[in-house]
Homo-oligomer: A and B are copies of this chain.
C-alpha cells in the first residue's frame, strides 16, 4: 500500500473509475459522497491526499476545503479539487482557498494520477519513493540509506526517522513535542529531553570530519535544518 486517499465525489460512475485507477496505483481508497462526512473522516484519520469534488451533497467542496485547512489535523493534507466549473474565477478561488491543484472535468484519469504523484512528491516524498536532499546530504528512502558527500552514514532506525522528518520540511522549526509526535508517534510516553539525545546522535553521525552543522538549535523553540548551511 502506497498511501491512503480520500475521494469525495457523488457521481457513482466517476467514483468507480477513479477508485479503480488509484487502487491500481496501490492506494487505499476511502470514499464518501457527502461533504460533512468527508470532514469527519478526514479529521478522524487524516489520509495522505484528498480528491474533492466541488459539487457534492452537504457542504460545498470549497467550504470543505476551507474547513480542512483550518483543522490542525488536516491543515497539511494535500487537496486536489475536481470540478465541472471551468471558469477562471472558480479555479483561482479554489487554489486560493488552499487546494493544491484544480482539475476541470472532463479529465483523464491518467493525468489525475500524475498530478496526485506530483503533489505527493512535495508533501510526502517518502510515499513517492523519492530521494531527499539537503545541502550535501542525500537520503534514499527505498534503500534506507543516508549519504553525505558520497560517504554512507550509519544511522539507527529512530535517528533515520528523525532526520527524515527534518528533510521533509527543510528549514522549519519543530518543538520537541512535535518531534515526539512525528517521529515517535502520538501515543508515546517518552521524556521530552530524549529528543536532545537523538539530535546529538544524528549530529554526531552526519558531521564527520568538520562538515558544517546542518541542524540548528532554536533556543526555547526546538530544532530545524539550517537553510543557511545549504
Interface string of A202-230 (1 = CB under 8 A from B): 00000000000000001111001001100
Cβ contacts under 8 Å, A219 to chain B: 156-157
Cβ contacts under 8 Å, A228 to chain B: 152
* Cα–Cα distance between A108 and B115 once the two chains are bound (Å): 20
Task: Check A92 for interface membership: any CB of B closer than 8 A.
Answer: yes
Interface string of A153-170 (1 = CB under 8 A from B): 000110000000000001
Cβ contacts under 8 Å, A121 to chain B: 98, 100
Q: Which residue of B lies closest to A122 (CB)?
A: B122
Q: Are the C-beta atoms of A95 and B117 separated by less than 8 Å?
A: yes
Cβ contacts under 8 Å, A92 to chain B: 110-111, 114
Task: Check A101 for interface membership: any CB of B closer than 8 A.
Answer: yes
Q: Count contacts on A: residues with CB < 8 A to the other chain.
A: 48
Task: Check A171 for interface membership: any CB of B closer than 8 A.
Answer: yes
Q: Are the C-beta atoms of B95 and A133 separated by less than 8 Å?
A: no
* Cα–Cα distance between A172 and B142 once the two chains are bound (Å): 5
Q: Which residues, 55 to 102 on A, are CB-close (under 8 Å) to B?
A: 72, 75-76, 78, 88, 91-92, 95-96, 98-101
Q: A114-B91, A133-B72, A219-B157 are in contact. Are A143 and B227 (CB under 8 A)?
A: yes
Q: Are the C-beta atoms of A95 and B123 separated by less than 8 Å?
A: no
Q: Are the C-beta atoms of A143 and B88 separated by less than 8 Å?
A: no
Contact among B115, B119, B172, B221 for A157, CB-based, below 8 A? B221
Interface string of A118-151 (1 = CB under 8 A from B): 1101110110000001001010101111000000
Cβ contacts under 8 Å, A76 to chain B: 133, 170
* Cα–Cα distance between A144 and B157 once the two chains are bound (Å): 28
Cβ contacts under 8 Å, A29 to chain B: none
Q: Are the C-beta atoms of A144 and B173 separated by less than 8 Å?
A: yes
Q: Are the C-beta atoms of B101 and A88 separated by less than 8 Å?
A: no
Q: A117-B95, A172-B143, A227-B143 are in contact. Are A111 and B88 (CB under 8 A)?
A: yes
List 13 contacting pairs A-B, 8 Å CB cutoff, sorted by A. Answer: A72-B136, A75-B133, A88-B108, A88-B110, A92-B110, A96-B114, A96-B117, A99-B118, A122-B122, A142-B172, A145-B227, A156-B219, A157-B220
